[in-house]
Amino acid sequence: DAGITQSPRHKVTETGTPVTLRCHQTENHRYMYWYRQDPGHGLRLIHYSYGVKDTDKGEVSDGYSVSRSKTEDFLLTLESATSSQTSVYFCAISESRNNEQFFGPGTRLTVL
Amino acid sequence: AQSVTQLDSQVPVFEEAPVELRCNYSSSVSVYLFWYVQYPNQGLQLLLKYLSGSTLVKGINGFEAEFNKSQTSFHLRKPSVHISDTAEYFCAVGPNSGTYKYIFGTGTRLKVLA
């Protein structure tokens, strides 16, 4: 299994609070991605990174920001959490642009 | 723009019967196609991938898929399913030139009945 972990695995927070999710990899892969998974929507890309300090927006980036200061860590921040951001968040990594992605175990976030 | 369509949101099938999960894609250039499986409360695992070469791709757990360029399809098949195959299956298309984004279908929930 690819060495990819997410923390925390579960979190309950209140509307309006900031939340940071962490993705950590030990594979030295260049590309990292944050997705959210919601029933009926499959996986939707929030942000991705193609190198240290190189990030870009996905299709559902509003309300989210990311940072990648070193190869192994990719942080996702919800600046002011809303109930619509209640979801399961997955991190993925990829060694090259067109090869398969490896997924972390997910973080279940509930915003009350 | 690329897109992926999984027409069946749920597929019930009896144990030891064959199954086909359908995936159609839209892409104007070369495609890289993937099938992933997700078991309850877990992340996604790669079942198989098509990058180039033979259009019939074999994956793990006895699954296979066929890339059909003329029909823009990449259907997943298994000749005989087991209870343990009950899971959600996602089709995805890899990035085109100039982008890094993978596009996922909305998933097909396979339920294997005893």
CATH code, domain with B73: 2.60.40.10
- Using the beta-carbon criterion (under 8 Å), do B51 and A99 form an inter-chain contact? yes
Q: Which helix (H) or strand (E) holds A7?
A: strand A4-7
Q: Is the minimum CB–CB distance between A42 and chain B shorter than 8 Å?
A: yes
Query: What is the total count of domains within chain B?
Result: 1
Among the listed ranges A72-76, B58-62, B97-101, which one has the minimum average pLDDT value? B97-101
Residue B100 has pLDDT above 90, yes or no: no
Task: Give the CATH number, domain containing residue A93.
Answer: 2.60.40.10
What's the mean pLDDT in B75-84? 97
What's the mean pLDDT in B14-38? 91
Q: What is the structure's pLDDT at A1?
A: 59
Q: Which amino acid is at B71?
A: Q
- Cβ atoms of A103 and A91 within 8 Å: the answer is yes
Q: CA-CA distances (angstroms) from residue B31 to A51, B34, B53, B92?
A: 23, 10, 12, 10
- Using the beta-carbon criterion (under 8 Å), do A98 and B51 form an inter-chain contact? yes
A contact residues 60-89, partner B, Cβ 8 Å cutoff = none
Tens digit of pLDDT for each residue in B56-73? 999 999 999 999 999 999
- Compute the Cα dihedral for B82, B85, B86, B90 and give only its sign: negative
Mean pLDDT, rounded, of chain B = 92
Q: How far does A104 lie from chain B, in Å, by closest CA?
A: 6
Task: Select the residue of B90, B95, B101 nearest A42 (Cβ to Cβ).
Answer: B90
Could you list the residue range(s) of the whole structural domain that residue A35 is in? 4-111
Determine whether B74 is exposed, middle or buried from the number of CB atoms within 10 Å of its CB (0-12, 13-18, 19+). buried
Among the listed ranges A51-55, A72-76, B92-96, which one has the minimum average pLDDT value? B92-96
Residue in B with minimal Cα distance to A104: B43
Residue A15 has pLDDT above 70, yes or no: yes
Q: Which residue has the tokens 């950590």?
A: A24
Could you list the residue range(s) of the whole structural domain that residue B21 is in? 3-113
